[in-house]
Every structure is written in structure tokens, then in C-alpha cells.
Structure 1
Amino acid sequence: MDHNEFAASIDHTVLGPETTWGDVETVLDEAAAHGMNACIPPCYVPEAADYGNAPETIATVVGFPHGQHAPEAKRDEAVDAWNDGADEIDMVINVGRLKAGETDAVVAEMSDVVAAVPIPVKVIIETALLSDDEKRRACEAAVDADADMVKTSTGFADGGATVPDVELMSEYLPVKASGGVGSYDDAMAMFDAGAARIGASSGVAIVAGHPESEGEEGDADGN
């Protein structure tokens, strides 16, 4: 990938529980300056949509971080985010229902969100909590629900994106590798494994590692 394609494949992210508007503003500025997307908390989407220096694509999260919201709450949260100006949705599945074998409920919940908004929906399956069989069932459910992508992790469980998980998930849908991707080399390993998108708080550092990025400064402590 050339520099522009590479940068456009990075979702520069800030989703911590102490995130302020100032933190979001910094991420929006950095994403816009380096050609990345931004992934931010839903409470800040209205301000971000009106922000004069926002990147082209703003993603936000639904059912975050544990996925145990009522299905109707997830659907309404997605609709609110879209109405507020979000361009993409990253939705957390109900991991407990998946692990219990309640696949129909998982598919129905995803389908409601996908049908409710006219923007791409990425489904976060939280790979660190799943067996390989469960990962496959989660990905099959995402396909059945017409989701646009599957995403590895929220960053709130132990463990993040791995090459084997990306390889497995990419058999079903485009993959967003998120969690523990902190450098250009990390990102390239995920792309080589089949990822289509990277989610990371250290987006600037990742883009700065691209061979065509001489002179760009990286994050001080991204992860």
C-alpha cells in the first residue's frame, strides 16, 4: 500500500473511560493531518461532526465495551450515532449469548443494528474470550446479519488482535484488527494476515513508520 492507502486503513482511536473532549479533539486533528479515520466515544460524535478539522470518516461504538446492553438499546444507540453524524459503527456482540449457544439471538441483535442504519457496521467479537469454534460461529453470525466487517477486540479484555485470529476471521468478512497494534510492523503483520483495517490509539506512530512517511512524528506512548 502507498502512504495514502495505508493511512486511510487506520482508525485512530480514543475510547478510554476518562476520555475528554480535549482528547477527542487531539485524535481528530491527528487523524485529519495524517489521512486516517477516527474512532471516538458516542457521546462526542455531535461535537466531532461539527468540528472544523474532523477527518473524512468518524466511527463510534455501540454496546461498548461488554456487549451486554439490551438489543433495543444497541439499535437505538446506533441510530442516535448515525443521526449525530457518525460514518461507521463498531458494535460489540453479546459474548455471553454466543458462548451459551444462543446464536439466533446474536444474529437477530446484529441484524437489527445493521438494518437500522445506512452506514457500515463492524461487529466486535472479542476474540480473546472465544475459542476458535466460537470465533467461527461469531463470524458466521456476522455474515448472516449482513455486517460489513468483523473486528477482533474492544481493548478492554485481556489480549488483542493476533495473526491467527485475523487469518481465521478473514475467511468470512473484511477484518478490523484492534488491540495491541502499536507500530507499523505490527500493522503490516495484520494486513499480511488478511486485515482490511487497523484500530489503534497509536495511529500517528503507525503511519509514521510507513516508508513514505519520513519526517512525520509518532505518538509518545501509543498502544
Structure 2
Amino acid sequence: MNREEFAERIDHTVLGPETTWDDVKTVLDEATEDGMNACIPPCYVAGAEAYDGAPETLATVVGFPHGQASMASKHDEAVNAWNDGADEIDLVINVGRLKAGEDDAVAADVAEVTAAVPVPVKVIVETALLTDEEKHRACEAAVEADADMVKTSTGFADGGATVADVELMSEYLPVKASGGIGSYEAATAMFEAGAARIGASSGVEILSGFPDQSD
């Protein structure tokens, strides 16, 4: 994988509770300059779509960060994000329902969004809060709901992406590894484990470690 291909697999991200439009513009500029995608809060998607420095692929989040909004709310949030210009949706599952064994409800929640928008939906399962058995069930629900990818983490729970989780999840769907990935070496380990995409607020730092191929 050359540097351009590597960059295309990174979602450069800013999703913190104090995120300002200036923060978003910085991420958009950096993503465009380095050939990355961007993942930003839904309230800024319309502005980003109109911004001259926006990258080609713009992702946003739905039901973030806890996944406990109603099905109708997630549906409307996803549709609004798509109408505003989002190219991809990162949707948080309802972890509590999964832990309660309500797998059909989890799948229905996701299916409501995948059916509502014509863009890829990545399902965030929040691996740090799940047992391996629950991770399998979460991925099965994502498959049942016709999701396009599964994603490890929001970045707001204790713990983030691990090689073991990426290996487990990649048995079901392409994986976006997210949470705690701050270096080229960490990103490479995730790709080698089977990740198709990386989500990170440290996209620039990750790319700065890419080996010099000029020789």
C-alpha cells in the first residue's frame, strides 16, 4: 500500500463535545491536504458540504455516543445528515439492549437507518463494553440489518480498537478500527489484522510516520 492508498483508508476525526466550527475546518483542511476522509459532528455537515476545503468523503455520526436514542430519532438524524451532504453514516448500537439479549431490537434499530439512507452505514458496536460473545452477536445484528461495515468504538468508552477485536469483527463485515490509534505503527497493526478503515483524531500524526518511499 502506497501513501495515497494508506491515507484514503483513514477517517480523520473530530467529535468531542467542545468541537467548534474552527476545529472542523482544521480537520477538513488536513484531510483534504493529505488525501484522507473526514468524520465530523452532524451539526457541522451542511457547513462542511459547502466548505471549499472539504474532502471527497465526509462521514458523520448518528446516535452518538451512547446509541440510546429512539429508532425514530436515529432514522431522522440519519436522513437529515444525508440531506445535509454526509457520504457515510457511523451509527452507534444500543449496547444496553444487546446486553439484555434483545438482538432483534438491535438489528431493527440498525435496519431502520440502513433502509433510510442510500449511503454506507458503519455500525459502532463499542467493543470495550462487550464480551467476545456479545461482539459476535453485535456483528450478526449488523449483518442482518444490511450494514456496510462494523466499527470498534466511539472513542468515548474506556478502551478502543484492538487487534483481537478487528480480527473477530472482520469475520462478518469490513471493519473500521477506531479508538486510541495514534501512530503509523498502530494503524498498520490494525490494517494487518484485517481493518478496512481507520478512524482517528491523529490522522496527520499517523501519516507523518509513513515510510519515505523516495529512495
Give the alignment's TM-score, normalised by structure 1.
0.95
Structure 2 match to 1:221? none
Contact 1:184–1:206 at 8 Å: present in 2 too? yes
Shift of 1:211: 1.4
Q: How does 1:145-184 map to 2 (within 5 A)?
A: 145-184=145-184
Q: CA-to-partner distance for each residue in 1:148-192, whole Å, 9 max, x for gaps? A: 000000011000000000000000000000000000000000000
Q: How does 1:72-221 map to 2 (within 5 A)?
A: 72-212=72-212
Shift of 1:212: 3.9
Gaps of 5+ in 2: none
- Measured in 2, the distance between the counterparts of 1:18 and 1:70 equals 24
Give the alignment's TM-score, normalised by structure 2.
0.98
SS of residue matched to 2:115: helix
Runs of 4+ in 1 over 6 A off after TM superposition: none
- Measured in 1, the distance between the counterparts of 2:207 and 2:213 equals 7
SS of residue matched to 2:136: helix
Q: CA-to-partner distance for each residue in 1:44-67, whole Å, 9 max, x for gaps? A: 000000000100000000000000
Q: Which amino acid aligns with 2:101?
A: G
- Total equivalences in the alignment: 214
- Measured in 2, the distance between the counterparts of 1:213 and 1:180 equals 27
- Measured in 1, the distance between the counterparts of 2:205 and 2:92 equals 26
SS of residue matched to 2:49: helix
Once the two structures are aligned, what percentage of the paired residues are identical? 76
Cα RMSD between the aligned structures? 0.9
Shift of 1:201: 0.3
